[in-house]
Amino acid sequence: MRLPLRTDELGIEAWRSVLLAYNAALRAIEAELDRAGTVPLTWYDVLLELQAAEAPGLRMRDLADRVVLSRTRVSRLVDEMAAAGLVRKETDGQDRRVVWAVLTDEGRTAFRKTVPVYLGGIEKHFAAHLTDDEKQVTAAALLKVAHAHRPGACDPAKEET
């Protein structure tokens, strides 16, 4: 029989559980995308952000801020995706230091092909293992942590002093 965890152990156990679930579900989803012959998940992340952009594309700096899976490799990812014809890089007409990533027609097609596989993978490898109540609690708890780390958010450590 497992003894109840102390408060500090609960936080560590929760963190470990998030990492284990994330890793397991992500690997399973990536394997499904590979079997379906779609773009890799890191590319899908970039395509998703470009598809959601209001402008015809995103500045590379803004794209790096928005992607979730590979923030440090965005420039290399976009280069690889440009070579595959899914995006193109354009220099800003007013500020030559600014480079835009723009979704191509081929990129839109790849995105549309990947969406159902990705969403099905989320359902199969994550959501199907949780009750509706657990989904609500998980979403609320994890968003609470995410919002606490947004720029300008209050630092709980500073509030305690």
Q: Is residue 29 over pLDDT 70?
A: yes
Classify residue 79 by burial, with Cβ atoms within 10 Å: 0-12, 13-18, 19+: middle
Please state the rounded mean pLDDT for residues 83-109. Answer: 94
pTM of the model: 0.83
Give the model confidence (pLDDT) of 55-76 as tens digits. 789 999 999 989 987 767 899 9
pLDDT greater than 60 at residue 140: yes
| Sign of the dihedral through C-alpha 112, 117, 122, 124 | positive
Instruction: Give the pLDDT of residue 2.
Output: 66
What pLDDT was estimated at residue 96?
Answer: 87
Amino acid, single-letter form, for residue 133: D
What is the DSSP secondary-structure string of the chain? -PPPPPHHHHHHHHHHHHHHHHHHHHHHHHHHHHHHT---HHHHHHHHHHHH-SSSEEEHHHHHHH-SS-GGGHHHHHHHHHHTTSEEEEE-SS-TT-EEEEE-HHHHHHHHHHHHHHHHHHHHHTGGGS-HHHHHHHHHHHHHHHHHTSTT---HHHHT-
> Of all residues in the chain, what percent carry a pLDDT higher than 90?
74
